Amino acid sequence: MVYGALTSQVIYVAVRVGVADLLTEGPRTSSEVAAAAGANENTLRRLLRGLVSLGLCAEVEADRFGLTEMGQYLRSDRADSLHSRILFNSEVLLPVWGELLNAVRSGESGALRVFKMPLYEYFAKHSDIGGLFDRTMASLARYRVGPAVAAYDFSRFRRIVDVGGGNGELMLAILRNYSEPQGIVFDLPLVAERARDRIRAAGFKERCTVVSGDAADGVPSGADCYLLSNFLVSMNDALATTILRHCRQAMSPGGVVALIEWVMPTGGEAVDPYGFWDTASMDLSMLAIDGGAGWRVRTAREFRALLEAGGFTLNRIIPTGSSVNVIEALPA
């Protein structure tokens, strides 16, 4: 655990210099990889042997290296690649995680200390970072969103609004799995434009529209499902309540709100070790980013109270094949 930061840095450097992509066609010598990467041969060989120690590469013969099965996930051309996640963690989140001590002591925002502005404002101002964030969130769909889509029956809905829908990856997963619903992806203007391009490229523009706006001011009306995925975790209770009330006012009779969120376990609740760590690490990331202002993973009791304040009753919490849950709420 103590050396975890070094491990992640080794993996980051390997991704940044393109080691996995350069080994896609098969094993190569360190000099061949170094020449293609524009790196020093001797130092790159040491990096490659570090990757061997982590099980990401194999030295198939003296000074000749190839990817292992696990190392394939570092390639940028795989649908299940961790490439964007690794870059985002190391280049954006790592400096913020370095502010965790100050956040615990003072409650100050690590994002403000590092970027001199709120995190999402930083994404909007720097389109390259915003694009990396979008790609990272899309890469999580397979691991977090996919199991949630499989665990909850979206076929019963006529129209679904994904509030804070990002680049549309979640909505696309729903439309691919269920032929019945029509979709609306709702997000801020800059994000909505990227979602519009993504949905058009995927061939779903007939079943899905993109609407731009701010959920703090209101949401599209007339849907029977309002979906908020990994959304409330990055806002305080006051803003979350406002958005839930907007959903309550906008929905059709008999509609529901479905939250795809981590739920923080409390004493006595059974959890698997990885799920607990993934949940706790998300909560601590929120603490490092936002300080004590309210971004957090909520407990089941806190979700119940939040939903009641927004005009809903928590109906059920549905576990999924990943560390997130689907929280279904009905109008109170």
Q: Which residue has the tokens 């407990």?
A: 299
pLDDT the model gives residue 144: 78
The domain limits of the chain are 4-74, 82-139+268-293, 152-263+298-331
pLDDT digits (tens, 9 = 90+) for 126-169: 989 988 998 898 887 777 788 999 999 999 999 999 999 988 98
pLDDT digits (tens, 9 = 90+) for 262-284: 999 998 777 788 899 999 999 99
Q: How many residues does the chain have?
A: 332
pLDDT the model gives residue 13: 98
SS3 (DSSP) at 259: strand
**pTM value?**
0.91
**Distance between CA atoms of 93 and 96, rounded to whole angstroms?**
5
How does DSSP assign 219-253, residue by residue? Answer: --SS-SEEEEES-GGGS-HHHHHHHHHHHHHHSPT
Helix 169-177 × helix 189-202 angle, to 10°:
30
- Of the pLDDT bands very low, low, confident and very high (cuts 50, 70, 90), residue 30 is very high
Rounded to 5 degrees, φ, ψ at 161 are -105, 120
pLDDT digits (tens, 9 = 90+) for 291-305: 989 999 999 999 999
Sign of CA dihedral 198, 200, 206, 211: positive
Cβ-contact 234, 205 below 8 angstroms: no
CATH 1.10.10.10 for domain 4-74, yes or no, is yes
What is the average per-residue pLDDT within 287-293?
94
pLDDT the model gives residue 66: 98
The fourth-level CATH superfamily of domain 152-263+298-331 is Vaccinia Virus protein VP39 (3.40.50.150)
**Distance between CA atoms of 255 and 218, rounded to whole angstroms?**
17
pLDDT the model gives residue 138: 80
To which H or E segment does residue 285 belong? helix 273-290
